[in-house]
A and B are shown apart, each in its own frame.
Chain A
Amino acid sequence: MKDYQLAWKNLWRNKRRTLITAASVFFAVFFALVMRSFQLGTYDSMYKNVIESYTGYIQIQHQDYAEEPILDNSFEADPEMMKKVKSDPNVKDVVPRLESYTLAASGSRTQGVMMLGVDPEKEENLSGMRDRLVKFKLTEDAIEALKSTDLPDRTLRLLDLFRNEAYSSTGRMMLDLGISTEDSTVVLPVLRRNASFTNKYFSGSSDGEVLIGSGLSDFLKINVGDTLILMGQGYHGTSAAGNFIVAGIIKLPSPDIDKRIVYMPLETARELYAAPGLATSAVLSLKDFDDKSIDKTAVRLKTFVADPLAVKTWRELNALLLNQMEADNRSGMIMIGILYLVIAFGVFGTVLMMMAERRREFGMLVSVGMQKSKLAKVVTIEMFLMGLLGVISGIIASLPLVYYGHFRPLRFTGEYARMYEDYGMEPVMPTLLPDTYYLWQTVVVMIIISIAIIFSVRKIFRIDLISSLKA
């Protein structure tokens, strides 16, 4: 009889107890993983939204710009240095921007906005701005028109929920309106006829054009072709004001940014703000943007990007958001901590019961000549298998949910959606695909099991033969 064979048999001596204990581990692992997946996935998508549509992964800025984001802290790029930056193996391109807070007005409405002067070509390559142009909009008129068509009932009902929603892709719209891929060939042409939105990117010739976020267009009630007035302060305190034509409307995934963004060609911005040749930031377009590559690239750049310029990674660029998420993360960790406390008690209860029940048997085994170390090994294998059973089944059960939640994320509508948007978050809750967090959950559960194992092993080594045989 091998130790593991004996352990395996012991594991099933009390099927119900083993299964209940394994089940408690299973549920804890399952819930912890799913909870964690939603939480981390939400952070991940939030970071991605902000990074991809706004800050980028690495920027070069004037070192004082982070403290005081004003035009006076802009810089004129040294061509030699920029060449060097561009020659970094992970850098595809360097995209200059001129950013300034300014006041936007139309009619009687005003809003503080972020004016972003961008190089139309480069910016398109960096963040795919052209794809973000609104292609459909469910305006009142569009919904009225659509209601008299023969769209599927489900879609007709959903229309009201997404009143005034703008879409830059058909995929997202199909998801919202519950349009299946089979229906799309019939339904999409109807939508195209009734809810299409005409739009254009910077044409390049005329320099009085701006693109604005769809949230801003709703707030200011302006549309393509309307005039937007911008009023702000230029370089070294000059006044900067002008009228612009809205050429296109852009849908950005981060509602906070979507509500406050105005894009204009870099040269137009430089002229408006009396800042020729200046930039407030140079966003790097990267080849690889996993955490490790980003950090490595930043380290390389820091060796030659010198005073007064500074290299900032997305973590520094989004410190505020990161802090918020960190606070939220802590509360999530506490929840998971409580979950694990509960299973720790469950596991310890089982172990205590098992040890009490088998005291006599252990006494007998050591009496007839089984070494305590061998007995301890058998019990260790038993408990380890029990824990593993719970962990593995928990992991397996979580996978379909986590994968489904990643590719078809939970999307809020109505009140919930508004609440999310008020906090500047996209109203979706995608999951994060299995990653190191899976490993950590497993490690934590295994630590709990190990503590229970250590407890039992100590008991075995301290067993008093005479009294255990009497028991």
Chain B
Amino acid sequence: MKVIEIRDLHKIYKASDIEVHAVNCVNLDFQEAEFAAIVGPSGSGKTTLLNLLGGLDMPTSGQILIDGTDLSMLKSSALIDFRMRNIGFVFQSYNLIPVLTAKENIEFIMSLQKWIKKEREERSFELLKAIGLSDRTNSRPAKLSGGQQQRVAVARALASRPKFVLADEPTANLDSKSASTLLEIMEKLNHEEKITFIFSTHDPRVMKMARRVITLEDGKVVSDDVRE
């Protein structure tokens, strides 16, 4: 089943007189339960594409349809609501609310969605186990390592079962061991929960774990390899 359709997507930045074509006529589809990496040299448009997909930025032209909903049709607060219900986010860093514990951070989107307490707790308990942090339930982010924080962020993104999770270089600030642990967890959860993951990366080892690798250059898709 198609989760995301991208049609003739363009994003042009205008800085003084120079125009930067950060995303240049991209057409892509994503299916349910995909585990896809977006790769490419620095400045190729990975972050820009992910931001457009997440509704954090508006395209210059083209369409993004998520389960049939055109993102550009949604205005401010409806768009925020749409993100809250359909898209999980994992950023490079500063993903978590510093004053909340690991468990509370994982439950954050669920409580925005007004899940009842019992269900929230069951879900966060399950996810804390899945990310191997059952013993750090009540730790605040400052007391967790970078890798552990990113794992909590992944759990937070997944917790309310969104349609897909976007992760822009989730391993960029991690050592290679933590990076592969994080990827393994992402892969496992993708497999178990059938939620699409789209992440960007520079790291060849991370790339290797993806089942689909989309390569960007100068804002264009230059290759789209699916391996099984």
Q: Is B56 part of the binding interface, using a Cβ–Cβ cutoff of 8 Å?
A: yes
Q: Is B84 part of the binding interface, using a Cβ–Cβ cutoff of 8 Å?
A: yes
Distance (Å) between the CB of A2 and the closest chain B CB? 9
* Stretch of B30-38, B96-104, B193-201 on the interface side: B96-104
Q: How far is the CA of A365 from the CA of B111 in the complex (A)?
A: 13
Q: How far is the CA of A469 from the CA of B51 in the complex (A)?
A: 10
* Stretch of A5-13, A254-262, A292-300, A424-432 on the interface side: A5-13
Distance (Å) between the CB of B156 and the closest chain A CB? 8
* Stretch of A108-116, A121-129, A189-197, A367-375 on the interface side: A367-375
Question: Which residue of A10, A367, A373 is within 8 Å of B89 (Cβ)?
Answer: A367
Q: How far is the CA of A188 from the CA of B104 in the complex (A)?
A: 72
Q: Is A406 part of the binding interface, using a Cβ–Cβ cutoff of 8 Å?
A: no
Interface residues of A in 353-371 (CB under 8 A from B): 360-361, 364-371
Closest chain A residue to B157, Cβ basis? A368
Q: How far is the CA of A6 from the CA of B101 in the complex (A)?
A: 12
Closest chain B residue to A9, Cβ basis? B99
Q: Is B107 part of the binding interface, using a Cβ–Cβ cutoff of 8 Å?
A: yes
Q: How far is the CA of A331 from the CA of B132 in the complex (A)?
A: 67
Decide if B98 touches A368 in the complex (CB within 8 Å): no
B125 proximity list for chain A (CB < 8 A) = none
- 1/0 per residue, CB under 8 A from B, across A1-29: the answer is 10000100110110000000000000000
Q: Is A466 part of the binding interface, using a Cβ–Cβ cutoff of 8 Å?
A: yes
Question: Which residue of B56, B83, B87, B109 is within 8 Å of A469 (Cβ)?
Answer: B56
- 1/0 per residue, CB under 8 A from B, across A273-300: the answer is 0000000000000000000000000000
Q: How far is the CA of A10 from the CA of B97 in the complex (A)?
A: 10
Count of chain A residues near B, Cβ 8 A: 22
Decide if B97 touches A365 in the complex (CB within 8 Å): yes
Distance (Å) between the CB of B86 and the closest chain A CB? 9
Distance (Å) between the CB of A315 and the closest chain B CB? 55
Closest chain A residue to B166, Cβ basis? A367
Q: Is A310 part of the binding interface, using a Cβ–Cβ cutoff of 8 Å?
A: no
Decide if B100 touches A466 in the complex (CB within 8 Å): no
Decide if A360 touches B54 in the complex (CB within 8 Å): no
Closest chain B residue to A369, Cβ basis? B84
Q: How far is the CA of A6 from the CA of B56 in the complex (A)?
A: 24
Q: A361-B94, A372-B77, A372-B80 are in contact. Are A367 and B111 (CB under 8 A)?
A: no
Interface residues of B in 39-80 (CB under 8 A from A): 51, 54, 56-57, 77, 80
Q: Chain B, interface size: which category?
A: 20 to 34
Q: Is A465 part of the binding interface, using a Cβ–Cβ cutoff of 8 Å?
A: yes
A369 proximity list for chain B (CB < 8 A) = 80-81, 83-85, 87, 109, 112
A10 proximity list for chain B (CB < 8 A) = 99
Distance (Å) between the CB of A35 and the closest chain B CB? 38
Question: Which residue of A1, A9, A371 is within 8 Å of B107 (Cβ)?
Answer: A1
Decide if B94 touches A368 in the complex (CB within 8 Å): no
Decide if B108 touches A367 in the complex (CB within 8 Å): no
Question: Which residue of B80, B88, B156 is within 8 Å of A370 (Cβ)?
Answer: B80
Q: Is the interface of A mostly helix, strand, loop or mixed?
A: helix
Question: Which residue of B54, B87, B104 is within 8 Å of A1 (Cβ)?
Answer: B104
Q: How far is the CA of A365 from the CA of B97 in the complex (A)?
A: 8
Q: Is B181 part of the binding interface, using a Cβ–Cβ cutoff of 8 Å?
A: no
Closest chain A residue to B76, Cβ basis? A372
Q: How far is the CA of A13 from the CA of B80 in the complex (A)?
A: 26
Interface residues of B in 124-169 (CB under 8 A from A): 156-157
A374 proximity list for chain B (CB < 8 A) = 112
Q: Is B180 part of the binding interface, using a Cβ–Cβ cutoff of 8 Å?
A: no
A1 proximity list for chain B (CB < 8 A) = 100, 104, 107-108, 111
Closest chain B residue to A470, Cβ basis? B47
Decide if B95 touches A364 in the complex (CB within 8 Å): yes
A12 proximity list for chain B (CB < 8 A) = 99
Distance (Å) between the CB of A7 and the closest chain B CB? 10
Closest chain B residue to A374, Cβ basis? B112
Q: How far is the CA of A466 from the CA of B57 in the complex (A)?
A: 7
Decide if B51 touches A466 in the complex (CB within 8 Å): yes
B51 proximity list for chain A (CB < 8 A) = 466
Distance (Å) between the CB of A11 and the closest chain B CB? 9
A360 proximity list for chain B (CB < 8 A) = 94
A372 proximity list for chain B (CB < 8 A) = 77, 80
Decide if A9 touches B77 in the complex (CB within 8 Å): no
Decide if A13 touches B99 in the complex (CB within 8 Å): yes
Distance (Å) between the CB of A371 and the closest chain B CB? 6
A368 proximity list for chain B (CB < 8 A) = 83-84, 88-89, 108-109, 156-157
Decide if A367 touches B54 in the complex (CB within 8 Å): yes
B94 proximity list for chain A (CB < 8 A) = 360-361, 364
Distance (Å) between the CB of B11 and the closest chain A CB? 11
Decide if B107 touches A469 in the complex (CB within 8 Å): no
Distance (Å) between the CB of A260 and the closest chain B CB? 69
B97 proximity list for chain A (CB < 8 A) = 6, 361, 365
Q: How far is the CA of A275 from the CA of B56 in the complex (A)?
A: 94
A373 proximity list for chain B (CB < 8 A) = 77
B107 proximity list for chain A (CB < 8 A) = 1
A/B interface sample: 24 pairs, CB < 8 A? A1-B100, A1-B104, A1-B111, A9-B100, A10-B99, A13-B99, A361-B98, A364-B94, A366-B80, A367-B54, A368-B83, A368-B84, A368-B88, A368-B109, A368-B156, A369-B80, A369-B81, A369-B83, A369-B112, A370-B80, A370-B84, A370-B112, A371-B77, A374-B112
Chain B interfacial positions (CB closer than 8 Å to A): 51, 54, 56-57, 77, 80-81, 83-85, 87-89, 91, 94-95, 97-100, 104, 107-109, 111-112, 156-157
Closest 8 CB pairs of A and B: A369-B84, A9-B99, A369-B83, A465-B56, A360-B94, A13-B99, A368-B89, A1-B111
